[in-house]
Amino acid sequence: MERKILALLAIVSLALCLIFPVVRFLGKIDAAGYKSGFFCASAAWFIFAALWITRPKKNN
């Protein structure tokens, strides 16, 4: 996968990590839903971010 796409997916995952607690704070989801969502978003962040930073940059 392209490095740029991986970076984008990693950033989206991290943003989701922040969105779940905000939604919880606003009372839109219950505690269990928030915790599961946060867990999944976190797992996605680690996968995409790890792939992103370990993928070598293309030479011009």
Q: How far apart are CA 40 and CA 56, in angstroms?
A: 26
User: Minimal distance in Å, beta carbon 8 to other proteins?
Assistant: 15
Produce one character per residue of 35-54: b if its CB has 16 or more CB atoms within 10 Å, e if not: eebbeebeebbeebbebbee
Residues 1-60, interacting with other proteins (CB under 8 A): 14, 17-18, 20-22, 24-27, 31, 34-36, 38-39, 42, 45-46, 49-50, 53-54
Q: How far apart are CA 51 and CA 59, in angstroms?
A: 18
User: Minimal distance in Å, beta carbon 24 to other proteins?
Assistant: 5
User: Using CB under 8 A as the criterion, which residues of the chain lie in contact with other proteins when the complex forms?
Assistant: 14, 17-18, 20-22, 24-27, 31, 34-36, 38-39, 42, 45-46, 49-50, 53-54
